[in-house]
Structure 1
């Protein structure tokens, strides 16, 4: 097969329907337990949003040091994401998730008990390794355990659990902050909560099965069949074994492409450029600045600390609600249309935040409320369009032969951009105030130009059709 030829992995096997059977309940339990990794991902990235102002008082840190607390977690996440896939390929998805649960436990406990700022940073790095590992391992585990008919909805539960974890962090922070806000150690109470879901994830995954796809790839077919019998009917389990064997055999025969192949093919290089652009622009909307520093932004808007803690919960409610809407509409509209709508909406919201924040005096009674409404609009539009769409399109546009390498590089770029934005956001706000959001608006205009001129439409096409189309369109670029 030539380097440029489309690669098809269709398997012409007719599988019996899944149907309604008791095995679906077991599959649901597997999904719930595994997505506790997503819940921890969300909680550990969101808990700083509320705890940070108390930590600042406790350690006496600067805005740059505030950014470092988030930055080290995200750098750890980038490393964890890059290594997590390879580790799970070697030792198994289930085993890797169990190890990640231990890292979540150690990281959460260490952060809550940290005696110094430097020790806090060290344990935030450990948490980052767990977050990054979970971001790549849990979706793969779910995809390989789920039947193909339900794969999309089951894998999407992890995204929902991530934003639910952030919402949970905001809500718990609001309660703890309002009740024990006078205690100098209140931030420790907020961080220690993350130990509980880590314990649930650890003991829960001990009772969950390994991925049948991974077992077959490692020659353990009898165990794979037993796993399938736990989550499928007998007829479906036997038929699916034949399908998985065929796919595994095709993957053994496939000569996977590496960097030399990617650099030699113009159309593949162009797709990598598009994927990296989507990943970077998703993070340059500043969405995670609000997920990490929303309470501080609301305080800057004019709310008291306790009021900011309470109203920050609305950011979590908006994220969860928007994600539910996105899951319902994402396959009904063209990807490019939704992306353009999303970047247009977020750019307008940024302009409004900037103009209101700079134009109205700090003593104006309407100022904090208008700013909160504009911020909520930004979060809703972002989480309902750009957020899930970028992850979907990254999975769609890369050719199968290079997908592992290209997704790994793209996710690393996404985490790195996230880390940089999170590092510079607190000092930018300290220097520019709400003028920071005008910078986000400028980047939003660049993102719109990028989508309009470079991003292809992928809706309604098979992955094989897309691959052939991309090769034809970009082969001379």
Structure 2
């Protein structure tokens, strides 16, 4: 086999490993999106009989678990390995889906949704890291962004399952069990598939298992590139261990005023992203469409458009984020999201019975989704990865991700109650949050496109550190 054929075979294997591990991301999307159609049947189920607030608890119980899974999943993977943690997550996803499907009470259902949330949060932290650590540098960007595409693909699949099974719900009140239980399949694929893929060579070196790391590299790289990459990994590991000895503590973060201001900025970006209302639509889009005048079956079919356009928006975001810039995308996303929400609210409150009203609201929701997923969705995560100085990056991004998930939890918990109260007012509340977000971004967020990380640090130090004289150190 010549060198080019050798390289192609390794790349093919790595793409397979990428898609297997990204089942964790797909399950992230599936388990958050499947409640969109299943809640209406849970609410009517004799064993559950959920109120609007209880529907919010069932939905948001997963996101509360995800907040803690994101915090603890990374450190646990550092101890036991990327491959092992993803294998365990596959088991948890499969068991959690089955537990939800066979739940006999709301308490049991919430427990298993919380368990799934722990897996979702841990997957959100570990899948991109694992892919980044096995991918060759020339394919790393595409391979890592596969995780984001798989999240929205999982939601699309969930909405498709809802559309396919909703017509059966009229004669089968337990159809929600099938909707939730089908999540077992990708969980099993992740669980068993991880036995077929390699451990991260970078993690192996971090555990002083250099010989095993070398064996892995020989399986996933062309023979000519193995010695140089092994040397790079060992040098980087040495530098990381020296740097880890100097990593900041929680106490130092909160006592360093300019870094605390960065934390506030990053946390607020996460809150803005969530309170722009995206997950009210992704979790309860079927209900919103039904309230716009469509029957449950048609609503489930139209709701698949939410998932499809999420995929389209995420792909567009991949190609525009380095072209248009972070701040410009954040601005445009907030403006368009606020505008579509206000117009949809006005239509619903003033001419709800007009023949064109329902489909117009659906189209406005579609516009909202494609712009959100191409702007606020990826930009928030990217800016948070750029604004923290190196010493505070791990602890700072961990806190901001936790707060983002808590915001997700609050939106998921309250949305059913707000939508039952008044759908138009709910849209206006989210639109107002978008407007406040525009003001915050204008005042607090710098443009980071093409700016070295050291220059971003200088920006915040010069703005919030009175003793700073221009030396980034």
State TM-score, norm by structure 1.
0.94
Separation in 2, partners of 1:22, 1:285: 44
Deviation at 1:116, TM superposition (A): 1.3
2:21 paired with 1:34: yes
Separation in 2, partners of 1:230, 1:465: 39
2:182 paired with 1:193: yes
Separation in 1, partners of 2:141, 2:458: 24
Q: What is the aligned counterpart of 2:11 among 13, 24, 28?
A: 24
Q: What is the aligned counterpart of 2:33 among 40, 46, 51?
A: 46
Deviation at 1:267, TM superposition (A): 2.1
CA contact (8 A) 2:292 2:348 kept: yes
Gap runs ≥5 in structure 1: 1-15
Separation in 2, partners of 1:401, 1:203: 37
Q: What is the aligned counterpart of 1:93 among 71, 82, 97?
A: 82
CA contact (8 A) 1:279 1:390 kept: yes
Q: What is the aligned counterpart of 1:173 among 152, 159, 162?
A: 162
CA contact (8 A) 1:17 1:236 kept: no
CA contact (8 A) 2:7 2:221 kept: no
CA contact (8 A) 2:41 2:169 kept: no
The one-character-per-residue Cα deviations of 1:299-353 (angstroms, maximum 9, x if unpaired) are 1111001111111001011101111111111111121111101101101011111
2:289 paired with 1:298: yes
Q: What is the aligned counterpart of 2:316 among 325, 328, 337?
A: 325
Deviation at 1:17, TM superposition (A): 12
SS at match of 2:375: helix
Deviation at 1:266, TM superposition (A): 2.4
2:67 paired with 1:69: no
Deviation at 1:172, TM superposition (A): 1.1
Deviation at 1:180, TM superposition (A): 4.6
Q: What is the aligned counterpart of 1:158 among 147, 150, 160?
A: 147
The Cα RMSD (Å) is 1.7
1:344–1:19 Cα change, 3 Å = farther
Separation in 1, partners of 2:186, 2:125: 19
Separation in 2, partners of 1:117, 1:471: 50
> What aligned pairs does 1:7-406 form with structure 2 within 5 A after superposition?
20-58=7-45, 59-254=48-243, 255-361=246-352, 363-406=353-396
Deviation at 1:230, TM superposition (A): 1.7
Deviation at 1:175, TM superposition (A): 0.7
CA contact (8 A) 1:267 1:476 kept: no
The one-character-per-residue Cα deviations of 1:119-169 (angstroms, maximum 9, x if unpaired) are 111111111111111010111111111122322211110000000000000
Aligned length, in residue pairs: 461
* Further displaced range: 276-285 or 170-179: 170-179
Separation in 2, partners of 1:287, 1:263: 30
* Further displaced range: 48-57 or 456-465: 456-465
State TM-score, norm by structure 2.
0.95
Deviation at 1:462, TM superposition (A): 2.5
Deviation at 1:277, TM superposition (A): 0.9
SS at match of 1:461: coil
Deviation at 1:117, TM superposition (A): 1.5
Separation in 2, partners of 1:241, 1:473: 41
1:229–1:470 Cα change, 3 Å = farther
Separation in 2, partners of 1:388, 1:82: 20
CA contact (8 A) 2:29 2:154 kept: yes
Aligned to 2:471: none
Aligned to 1:11: none
1:462–1:231 Cα change, 3 Å = farther
Gap runs ≥5 in structure 2: 468-473
SS at match of 1:303: coil
The one-character-per-residue Cα deviations of 1:452-475 (angstroms, maximum 9, x if unpaired) are 111011111222333344333432
Aligned to 1:419: 409
Separation in 1, partners of 2:363, 2:8: 46
Separation in 2, partners of 1:113, 1:177: 19
The one-character-per-residue Cα deviations of 1:53-106 (angstroms, maximum 9, x if unpaired) are 011111221110010001211111111111101110100011000111111011
